[in-house]
């Protein structure tokens, strides 16, 4: 028995690798509908976004700024949540401004956006009136600081080189006072911190910030959620799948999370087996 466990402890790690590879790939061939229970952070995110609806229902214009700060490497985690969020905002007839503090951010967001716009449902969504893509500009914190006072300082033209004055939406949105919410999708170190530090300073409580981040960044983002510095948090694939289920729009994240389930189970089984083997063989070692 002990010998068996000893062997087990010294199992070739390639077997573990193989099982992980299988568990992350095979489930992709199936779309297994699962009941997803959204966590508190995701529910807060959902609430924050739904809060905008009160205003839109009254006929007030609501403007949301979405900043993309991720690159293709983290697309599996961030793009699904970006898609779901944009969809929800479009459904609520919220005006959207796209921007990014990393070069690939806006194109990745627009990829999801354009995909959505192909749906006949959104055929009346117009560029310049319902949404604007400002693109990427270099400068991080300084960009945010500048935009707080005057967006045109940092973005005189949109991504296509059109003067902001020519875009009806941007004629109304001068600075962050005219923005109701900032949605930040980030995979970059620091994450939403820069936004908290520089975007909120002058606008005080008027504007909400919600944050979608990669799984690795989740723990460090929770304190901001707890302190109310951000109003909602979507963490990694879990957050994306949560939000997809909250808005009843299962897509990629819901698809991936099945594979994620299997992989987690495999890893946990390994940990359990490892521990059993460890305790069984411990006596001998001592």
Partner 1 sequence: MSTEIGIWVAGFLTLAIMSFLYKDNPVYKAAEAIFLGVSAGYWTVYMFFNVVKPLLIDNLVKGNFWYLIPLVLGLMMLARLLPNIGWISRWPLAFVIGITAGLNFYAFLASDVIGQIEGAIKPLNNWGGEHLLKSQGLWNTLASIGVISTLVYFFFSKEHKGLFGKTAGIGILFIMVGFGGSFGYTVMARISLLIGRMYFIFSTWLGLAS
Partner 2 sequence: MRKEIPLFITGLVGIVLILQYFSPNKSINGLEGIFTNWMQIIAAFSMILGVLNLIRVNGDKIYKKRKNWGFSIVIIVSLFATLIIGFANIGGKSMYNRKILRTNGTVVGNITKDVMSHNGFKVTDASFGIMFKALVDATQKEKTISSILPKSLKTGDLRAKFDKMLPIVRKRSHKSIEIVNNIGRQVNVELESSLKKMNSQSFNESILRVYDNLEKTILEENKNFKLENKKLIDENIKAQLAFLFKNIDTANSNLKYYKDIKVFITEFNDFLSKDKDLIAKLDENIKNSKSYNDFYKKSSVLFALKQNNKLNDFLLKNILDTYLNNIYVAKSYKNAKVNILKSLSGNKDLINALTLNIENKLTQQYIKDFNKYVSNTEQYISGNKYVKGDAIIKATYKPIIAKLYTTEKKKIASVISAELKSPALLKKLKVNQLFLTSLIKNSKSEVTALGISEKSSEFIMQKLLEGGGEYKLYTLEVGSSFMEIYRYIFTPLSSTMFALLAFFVASASYRAFRARNKEATLLLVAGFLVMLGAVPIGEMLSIPGVFSVAEVSDFIMNVPVMSVQSGIMIGVALGVISTSLRLILGIERSHLGGD
Q: Which is nearer to partner 1, 81 or 169 (CB)?
A: 81
87 binding partner (options partner 2, partner 1, none; Cβ < 5 to 8 Å by kind): none
97 binding partner (options partner 1, partner 2, none; Cβ < 5 to 8 Å by kind): none
Given 7, 15, 31, 150, the residue binding partner 1 (CB under 8 A): 31
Kindly identify the residues of this chain, within the stretch 246-285, that bind partner 1 according to CB under 8 A. 256, 259-260, 263-264, 267
Q: Which is nearer to partner 2, 11 or 26 (CB)?
A: 11
Residue 9: CB partners within 8 Å, gap ≥ 6?
A: 274, 277, 278, 281
Kindly identify the residues of this chain, within the stretch 177-216, that bind partner 1 according to CB under 8 A. 193, 196-198, 201, 214-216
29 binding partner (options partner 1, partner 2, none; Cβ < 5 to 8 Å by kind): partner 1
Give the CA dihedral 236, 102, 88, 34, nearest 10 degrees. Answer: -20
190 binding partner (options partner 2, partner 1, none; Cβ < 5 to 8 Å by kind): none
Tracing tokens 């994306």 back to the chain, one arrives at 240
Q: For the chain, count helices (H), then strands (E).
A: 12, 6
| Closest of 245, 211, 243, 242 to residue 226, by C-alpha | 211
Residues 156, 27: Cα–Cα separation, whole Å: 47
Tracing tokens 């949105």 back to the chain, one arrives at 173
Q: Is 84 in the site for partner 1 (CB under 8 A)?
A: no
Given 46, 74, 186, 281, the residue binding partner 1 (CB under 8 A): 74
Residue 260 CB, nearest approach to partner 1 (Å): 6
Given 11, 15, 28, 269, the residue binding partner 1 (CB under 8 A): 28
Residues 55, 61: Cα–Cα separation, whole Å: 7
Residue 82 CB, nearest approach to partner 1 (Å): 14
Residue 74 CB, nearest approach to partner 1 (Å): 7
Q: Are 68 and 109 a contacting pair, CB within 8 Å?
A: yes
| Residue 191 buriedness (CB in 10 A; 0-12 / 13-18 / 19+) | buried
Q: Which is nearer to partner 1, 171 or 264 (CB)?
A: 264
β-bridge mates for residue 186, sequence order: 69, 213
Q: Which is nearer to partner 1, 156 or 168 (CB)?
A: 156
How would DSSP label each residue in 157-210?
Answer: B-TTS-BGGGSHHHHH--SGGG--EEEEEE-STTTTHHHHHHTSTTTGGG-EEE
Kindly identify the residues of this chain, within the stretch 8-27, that bind partner 1 according to CB under 8 A. 14, 17, 20-21, 24-25
Q: Are 215 and 139 a contacting pair, CB within 8 Å?
A: no
Residues of this chain that interact with partner 1 (CB under 8 A) are: 14, 17, 20-21, 24-25, 28-29, 31, 73-77, 103, 138, 141, 193, 196-198, 201, 214-216, 218-219, 223-224, 226-229, 235-238, 256, 259-260, 263-264, 267
């Amino acid at each position: 028995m002990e010998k068996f466990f000893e062997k087990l402890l010294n199992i070739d790690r390639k077997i573990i690798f193989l099982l992980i590879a299988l568990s992350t790939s095979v489930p992709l061939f199936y779309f297994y509908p699962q009941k997803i229970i959204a966590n508190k952070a995701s529910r807060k995110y959902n609430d924050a976004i739904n809060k905008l609806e009160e205003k839109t229902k009254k006929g007030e214009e609501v403007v949301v700024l979405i900043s993309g700060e991720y690159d293709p490497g983290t697309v599996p985690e961030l793009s699904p949540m970006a898609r779901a969020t944009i969809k929800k905002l479009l459904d609520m007839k919220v005006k959207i401004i796209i921007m990014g503090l990393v070069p690939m951010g806006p194109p990745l967001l627009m990829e999801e956006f354009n995909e959505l716009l192909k749906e006949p449902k959104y055929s009346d969504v117009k560029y310049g009136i319902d949404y604007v893509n400002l693109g990427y500009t270099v400068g991080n914190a300084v960009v945010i600081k500048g935009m707080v006072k005057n967006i045109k300082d940092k973005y005189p033209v949109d991504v296509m080189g059109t003067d902001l004055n020519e875009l009806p939406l941007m004629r109304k949105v001068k600075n962050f006072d005219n923005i109701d919410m900032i949605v930040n999708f980030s995979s970059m170190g620091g994450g939403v911190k820069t936004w908290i530090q520089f975007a909120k300073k002058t606008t005080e409580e008027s504007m909400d910030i919600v944050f979608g981040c990669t799984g690795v960044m989740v723990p460090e983002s929770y304190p901001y959620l707890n302190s109310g510095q951000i109003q909602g948090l979507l963490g990694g694939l879990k957050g994306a799948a949560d939000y997809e289920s909250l808005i009843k729009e299962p897509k990629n994240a819901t698809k991936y999370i099945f594979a994620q389930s299997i992989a987690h189970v495999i890893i946990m089984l390994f940990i359990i087996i490892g521990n059993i083997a460890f305790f069984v063989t411990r006596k001998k070692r001592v």
